[in-house]
Amino acid sequence: MEQEKEFKAKERYTGTVLKTTLQGALVDIGSQKPAFIHISQAVKNDDPKKQINSINEVLEVGQKLDFWVKRVRKDRIELTMKEPLALEWREIKPDMTVKGKVVRLETFGAFVEIGAERPGLIHISELAHSYVRTPGEVVREGDEVEAKVLEVNRRKKQIKLSIKALQVLPENLQMPEPPASKKQQEEEEPKEPDLTAMEIALRSAMEKSEGSQKEAAAKKSRKKQGSTSEQDEILSRTLENKVGEES
């Protein structure tokens, strides 16, 4: 007895439509198991996004078309007319290596088509170990690149990639000097050394002591001024009384 051929998801086959039903169509792709395509997986060649109300709008008995294996079950093979993605979200994992084509450049990085639902992004800081001013210095649209997956966020539909993560860090790598004005400013502005816990506590105590001394001096000054004003007032009244007596 001839051994059954092993069918796998995403494989492409040319099949012949055997029968149509309200839910879909039975297709011969050379398997012993029945191969069935549901109406939701059928598409029109002229308008893939158009809704299909009847499988007969797309398929008819005896017609030969290309189909992809969507899923292999124990009792049947499920087909689709929608070309599957090379990488499904569940298949994309951090640290895996992917290949793709640069499809768009932005000031902040490069977008790479890796066969997923969305292109992956290589941030400008992940293009090379050395300093990169613009992504165009490293890659161009149409370039085939290999990158490492850093992060996958299915909810936000984001895939973060890195080229430099697959490269060996060059020896004696020197980063570019900062602009002269910025460097000069950094040199002119003295940096306060990091303080230990003991030094911080001592500084705090000294600041509190200085504050108390200043407050005490201010109170003494106000008291002295008040006393002087009171003495001046007494002296003034005494002089007035004396002049009145002499008169």
For 57-94, the pLDDT digits (tens) are 999 999 999 999 999 999 999 999 999 999 999 999 99
Q: What CATH number belongs to 12-80?
A: 2.40.50.140
Kindly list the domain boundaries of the chain, sorted by start residue.
12-80, 89-166
Helix (H, G, I), strand (E, B) or coil at 4: coil
For the ranges 87-91, 139-143, 175-179, the one whose mean pLDDT is highest: 139-143
Taking only the tens place, the pLDDT of each residue in 155-174 is 999 999 999 999 988 776 65
Taking only the tens place, the pLDDT of each residue in 224-236 is 555 555 565 665 6
How many residues does this entry show for the chain?
Answer: 247
Residue predicted with more confidence, 105 or 169: 105
Residue 79 and residue 188: Cα distance in Å, rounded?
70
Q: With respect to CATH, is domain 89-166 assigned 2.60.40.1930?
A: no
Task: Find the DSSP H helices in 36-154.
Answer: none
